[in-house]
Structure 1
């Protein structure tokens, strides 16, 4: 964990260098992914089964790939009632939040008499990657599938690494209405969704987080299909004054550090004594945290405490452009309203980021690696597309046609010009 003091000479340069440190995908990962994608594109389902043996150490047949409806029902039923209730609660809130994002179609006639407008239509098929390995992720299912269903996507195909499917994941799939689940993970799952492989039909867009191999695969298939984003390690910035309970703030910092040794947690405070109390609380909590090994590595290698006036916090947050930022202050809006670059903002001492991860209703799939400077979190808009509509009658065309001819001639595109001129009787 690094410490920065706003009052010390060289703060700006040292802080900027810190936030610009890159955690790039190793070249060998990209090379391996390229070969996996090519194999799946060439060999289809045979490649999926081969990679399942090689990477996941499981022996599957083509018939084993799809999770049956009976398995989904049985798995969901095996989930504890309190978790099922929490999943239903979260799903309802996520659905309500995202349904409010639905835009309206428009149709109007402008001053030239041209009828113009646009309409929104859902994507036909979406693939959702749900990681396995480190933990079970029912929230990933909900945050990706519920907005897709709310948008009206007809086919939602979920892929997840083979092995024991956690009851909570299956319960979340059932709550979100997902009935198509495939036992395939890694780059080969991305390839199957992009190109198709045996019984797995291709989709139009792939969403959902994954490891470096999954991210590299999404980067390579973009263009063949759409993707949500290239997700990097998790990030949190907590802006806190000395009136907070240091144990609370330490827990908030570790809530992201536990995701991955490459995750990043940063505290900005104006109180040096409080900063030391938080640092001490982090160390105390790491001793009993089940995910302490990863969290300790994250805090050690990428964590930071910044001592600075709170009025400087919005500018520092914008420089970081974090995935999540908490304002644990008396009047959080006074500072948060000045922030331009953040994936999600959490206001007040009783709004930890973990609330947003699960049940607030807003989406937890957010831009990382400073991408909040130019992109937004996952939403209903990721599952719909806009089509422009134009209609001219004779009077309207008489106004637009000559200008079309002039601009087409200026660009040296005579067929474009003729397409308009011929309707004006000018050929």
Structure 2
């Protein structure tokens, strides 16, 4: 009995020890499971990546991302994206680009260099030049009598246009030599050539009060200067310009002298080698004016100018053909070069303006504007008021214009650059 009781106690002791062991192991296992379930997803070494992404976030432009908080960090190569976009920033699309680093903006620097040359008035590179010209152009113009008389005296003394501007039977007798002004060629005056000269200069001992020299610049388009030009006593035009229809209101029609360079009719009328009636008919708009031919500028100018002269005679056109004296042109060239003009040849416009200053008391210039944009508004202009054919490379129109502008500023002559009635 006692043995049984002792054996029972022994079994209970083993059970109790076993239960304590199981309880201890269960507690340990539970603690381990709890610890692992709470800490296994947080690894300290993975935290720098979100912090690094947060530092890059400000590099995303507000122009391209209104709300970037939903973007995963590994999808934001922000620095590369910013570097790609920086060159496309221009002054037109960026009101405040001070935050952009200079070393990322080579295109921006290039844009800034070009910006001053571009005007909002469709004028590329001309606004600065034109504004500089207008600084010297006074619309409240006043004639300076002393300056005018001084310049006129220089022309009369050195060039004598009133007597020498055109070839006459008085200044170029038979047997005399004519030296071409455009090349080193000489032509003797034969009886046949002598017959084509007028007997005497139509300008000797004559002075007109008001004269208009009308160039063909595109600035005359829509100028409404026709009536103003026609109101002057003496009108000089250049290179057989059109005067009829839509042009008359802006350029007028009165003509006392019109120049006729071979280039203005040879191509249009087949060199006058065929039927010449169309050429003769085209001259009717100039009435009984004088037609000035530069027959002795170059050797090949002579036959073309003489064919035109003979056409006028054959068809009994009331125009008086006259031949420009190359000696006069050479004298003018020397005078203008002494005043700073450097070019191969004087333009027809400058030649007839010089003549006008000698034979007219008040000289007005129209259509003299060598730039491709209008001085008031910068709108594009055609080269001529009737076409857009460019100037001969032998002439330097801006340089000539600068000298004419000086004479305007000095009150010697008057340039008209706007619409008539507004000056």
TM-score (norm 1): 0.29
**Higher-strand-fraction structure:** 1
TM-score (norm 2): 0.29
Query: Larger Rg: 1 or 2?
Result: 2
